[in-house]
Structure 1
Amino acid sequence: MFDLAILCLVCVVPTIGFAFLIDRRRPSWSFAKTAFVAAIPLPLLVSLLLIYIIVDAARTPFEKCGVDACAMAIAFSAVGIIYCLAAYFVAAIIAAIVLRKRLG
């Protein structure tokens, strides 16, 4: 659970910065739209890296995997993608709250 908290913290701080940047560039957007768009970049980047690990582990021949190393990499990546999804929603909600309090 501690790793989810770190991932959320790493995603929340830049998301708030992205939200303020987007709000300056697109002032006509709603709080929710700005927050959800601002929360996309970091979880998406981490998820793409984890998907690469899944594909790489799935394509590795059985002889090179060792004792269940490929399955552990796939399991870790699947859990990481779920964490990224949770971090996305947490970051978007916190960014919406911060935008609403500061600008609304």
Structure 2
Amino acid sequence: SVYQTITSPGATARAVAPGDVIVWYTDGLVECRGADGNQFGDRRLQRALRRLDPAHLDPTSVHGFLAAELAAHLGGLPPGDDMTLVVARVEAPAPA
């Protein structure tokens, strides 16, 4: 699945494979309100992730895409809270 979510804090194990891209974010991202007063929200984040081109899932591109989506949502307003967005790709283990 392009988007899997863990809804409660705590330790959770997920199987990952080389090439998988993982996105971590804080509540400041999904709770930030745009000029219309609406939060960015989990659904908007899910829709954005589904629009990603599978051929361009490098962490820098994914981060830039999500940052642009957030900036468009904010419409020039400053974010109302701090936020963290981390994107990483699982690499194959190096040969021994």
Is the TM value for this pair above 0.5? no
Larger strand proportion, structure 1 or 2? Answer: 2
What's the TM-score, normalizing by structure 2? 0.36
Task: Please tell me whether Structure 1 or Structure 2 has the larger radius of gyration of its CA atoms.
Answer: 1
What's the TM-score, normalizing by structure 1? 0.34
